[in-house]
Chain A
Amino acid sequence: MTASNAKIINSIEVPALARVEGEGGLYIGVQDGKIKEIRVDIYEPPRFFEGFLRGRSMFEVPDITARICGICPVAYQMSAVNALEASQGVSVTPAIRALRKLLYCAEYIESHALHIFLLQAPDLLGQESAISLAAVAPEVVTKALRMKKVGNAILRVIGGRSVHPVSTVVGGFYRWPEKDNLTALLPELEWSLTAAAETVRWATTLPYPDLEIDCEYVALRHPQEYGVLDGEVVSSSGQKVSVAEYEKYYLEEHVRHSNSLHSHTRDGKKYMVGPLARLNLNSEQLGPVAQSLMKELKIKPPIHNPFKALLARTLELVDAYADAIRLIKGYNPEGPSRVEFEPKAGEGCGASEAPRGLLFHKYSVDGQGLVLKARIVPPTSQNLARMEADLWEFAPKVLDKPHEQATLACEHLVRSYDPCISCATHFVRWECKDGE
C-alpha cells in the first residue's frame, strides 16, 4: 500500500450491511495507510430470550426458541429438544430421530439455497442483489428459487409451515406426517439433487478473492453420519469433548472495543463454526454423491479461504437433498410419534449444527418441568471474533483498490460467514468510551 492510496481510503464504513440476516454494520478505520480499527458492529437490539424462558414449561421452549431466528427455527428447536431431553434422561426412537434429520435437511436446503444464490452469489457475479441478477441471468435465479422451494415444502409437510414450524415437541413430534405427502416431493427433490450437483460445479468456477487463513475449526462430529443433529464437539487442533463439556472449552468474553461478546477457545484461539468448519472436519462423512463431486472437481478439504464457505454450502446442499430422498424413501412411521415422560428436575446440554454453525443450548428445569435457567450460544457470536480477525488479514490487501470496490470486498467477507444477527441473542451494543 502506498502513501497516495492511504489518502484515498481513510475508512471503510458500512452503516447497515445488506443481504445478511439482522442488523449490523462494518467499520474499518485507516490512519496513515495503516488499519487502526476493525469492528463488525451489531445494532440488533437484545431480546432477552434467556430471561423470559425462565418460568416457562419445557414443552413451550421449542416454540419460543424458534422465534430467535426466522431463517433457522429448526436449529433452535433441535438444540433445545436435545438439551431438554438430556435434562430428563429421555432418548427418542430411531424413527423420531430420522424425521428430525429430515426436518433439518429441509432447513439446510431452504437456508443454504437462500445464502448461496440470493445473499452471497451477487458479490461474486458483480450484482447488488438477486433481483438485479435476475435481470441479466434469470435462469440462475429461477433455478435457485425452485431449489429453495422444495426445502420449504418439506418443512410444511412435517411442521405445518416453513417459518416457525409447529410439530416439534420435547420427546418427538405432535404427530407423524403423512407418507404420501412426503413421497409426493420426491420428483422435485431428484430434480434439485441434479441441480445442486450442477451448483457445486458452478461454485468451483466463481472468482473468489484470494485469502488463505489457517484457523481453528469447530463442529459437531457424529460417529455414523455427517454431524448435524447431534454429536461430539471436535476441533481442527484435535480437541474432542462432549456437548456437556462444551462450556469448559469454549468461552465467551467481553471485548471492550467491540459491540458484542466474542467467543474463543480455552487457550485463546478465535475459531470458526459453520459450513467450512464442518467440511474441513467431517468431509469424509458426506454421502456418495457429494464424495464423487469432490473427486470429480478435485475439491480437497481443508479449504482455508473463508469466501469459499459458499463451496462448502453447495456440497452440503447436495448432501441435504440426497439425505432427504433417502429418509423419505425409508420413512415408515412406527410406534408413537412422541416419547411420553413425567417431568423431573434436571439439567442438560444440547447442540446441533445450524446452517451457520454450532448452536449450543443448556437448560435447568424444576420438578414441574419449568425452566429455571437457560443459556444459548448461537453460531454467529462464535464467528464474530473470527470475522474481525479475517478482516485484519484481508482489508490491507484491498486498501489500494477504489473505495467502493474495497468496501464491497470487505462486506463480501462478512457476508460469506452468513451472519445471522437476530440469532445472536448475546450480541449487544456496547457504549464505547475513549480510554476504556
Chain B
Amino acid sequence: MESFDIIIIGGGPAGLAAAVAAKEEGCNSILIIERDKELGGILNQCIHNGFGLHTFREELTGPEYAERYIERVKELNIEYKLNTMVIDINSKKQVTAMNKTEGHFTIQAKAIVLAMGCRERARGALGIPGYRPAGIYSAGTAQRLVNIEGLMPGKEVVILGSGDIGLIMARRMTLEGATVKLVAELMPYSGGLKRNIVQCLDDYQIPLRLSQGTEEYFSCDTLLLSVGLIPENELSQGLGINIEKITSGPIVNDQLETSEEGIFACGNVLHVHDLVDFVSEEASLAGRNAARYVIVSAEMRESLAKINLIELISGKGVRYTVPKYINPIKMDEVVTVRFRVDKVYREGSIRVTFDNNEVWKRRKKIMAPGEMEEVKIKRQDVMSESKLQNITIEIIE
C-alpha cells in the first residue's frame, strides 16, 4: 500500500495552507487529495476582491489568493491528486479514494488533516413550502455557474438570506445584467460583513429586508438561497470523531487535533469562517501540528496524551469556542481561541476567566454573530495558574 506521512483531505484554502506549513515544519511526505479539477477550492469561484488583507497586506481576489498558495505548494514539490474523491477514512488512518486513472485505491497515512470545507444549507432543510420549480439555487451553485461557466440562471432575482455569499451574488448578478429585487433575511440582523452590505447592496440600491413577520409577493425567475453553511463531516463521522453540535465540526484541542489521535481539522470543515485569512492561519497551525505529530516519538506522544486538558467553556453570549481543549504542556506561546457571539452586542465586553479568576477583559464597540471573534490565551498565563481546569469566555453586556 502506498503511504504518506501526512494526507490532507481537500485542496482548498485550508488544505493548501496546511500542506505548506507541514512541509515548512520539516515533513517531506505529504499528499493533498482534491475532488475538483484544480486546486484552490471555493476561492476559484470567489472572483471578488477583499481577500488577503491579513495574510498578504494587500487586497486580492479569490483566485489570486489561491494562486499564492498553489505556487508555494508547487515550489515545495508537495504532491497532490486532482479529480479524486475520498470515499472513506478508517481509524488505522487508511484513506480510500477514487479517480479516473487509478480507480478505487487505499493509501496509508501517519497523520491526516481534514480540510473538506462545507456545503450550503439547501431549501429542504429550511422547510420552505411550495412547488419545486427550476430556478431555485443555493447562492454558491449560482456563483459557480456565473463565475466559472459564465452562465446566468435568470434575470429577475430574489435572494433569501443575507450571508456573505448572498450579498456577493446580489452584486454579481446585477453586474452581469440581472435585476436583484430584494435580499430578504429571516433574522433581525444581517449575517454578512458590513463591507458587503455597503458595496454589494447599497451601491446598487438593492433593498435588504430584515425579519418583520410580514408577507409580501415578489415575482422572480431565480431564487438564491444563502441560508447557512454546514461543515462536510460525513467522512469524519465515519471515523467516529466527536462532533460539536453547534458548529457541526469536530471537537479539537489547541493543536487542532480531533478526538482521534493524529487526525487534525481546519478551515470550514472545523467551523465556518468569514475570512479566508483566518482559515489560512488556522490551517497552518493544523499542518504544523500534523508534521510535529509525525516527527515526535510514540512514547512522547503517549506521555503528552496523559496530561489533564483544560476545558474551554462557552459562557454567556458565546455559542462555541475553537479549540475546545488546551493541553497546557504542549500548547504554543499563544493560542488563538475563535468564537461567535449569539446576538448583536453594542458596547459589550469579552471576559476571560481562569477557573474563577478574571484574567482578561476587553470592550468592543460592536460584536455580531456574523463576525468571528477571537481571544489570545498566553502560555505563561496558563502556566502561572496551578491546576487550572476551565477557561471561560463570556460576553458582558
Do A and B assemble together? no
| B residues lining the A interface (CB < 8 Å) | none
Give the interface of A toward B (CB within 8 A): none
